[in-house]
């Protein structure tokens, strides 16, 4: 992604000097995380994926706040609908089957 080459494999990050992550993922099955969006915006995280246990929403940073979008900017092949579908497959079919299905889908996109 955009900032990965700048970080490499380092695990100690200093957000005063290092770039923000390209995507933050929030999984909120029991608690809301709307208040965390201002923290991500302050750090300059360009994209937040938010999963509430039912659907995944992609939120893009625009003019200091997040707006919901259908498609990832960082990983343009991925849409909120597709990610939600595969998360449901994880629940229904299990990790292995859902991973195989996602891998097959990804390979089909490369052809």
Which helix (H) or strand (E) covers residue 52, if one does?
none
69: number of Cβ within 10 Å:
15
For the chain, the domains span 4-109
Condensed to tens digits (0 to 9), the pLDDT of residues 34-72 reads: 678 999 999 999 999 999 999 999 999 999 999 999 999
pLDDT at residue 70 in the model: 97
- What are the CB-based long-range contacts (under 8 Å, 24+) for 79-85? 80/55, 80/56, 83/49, 83/56, 83/58, 84/55, 84/56
pTM equals 0.85
């Amino acid at each position: 992604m955009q900032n990965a080459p700048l970080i490499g494999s380092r695990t100690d990050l200093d957000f005063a000097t290092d770039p923000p992550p390209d995507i933050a993922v929030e999984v909120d099955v029991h608690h809301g995380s709307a208040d965390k969006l201002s923290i991500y915006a302050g750090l300059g995280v360009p994209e937040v994926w938010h999963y509430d246990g039912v659907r995944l929403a992609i939120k893009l940073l625009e003019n200091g706040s997040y707006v919901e979008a259908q498609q990832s900017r960082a990983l343009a092949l991925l849409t909120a609908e597709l990610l939600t579908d595969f998360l449901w497959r994880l629940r229904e079919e299990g990790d292995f089957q859902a991973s195989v299905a996602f891998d097959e889908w990804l390979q089909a996109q490369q052809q």
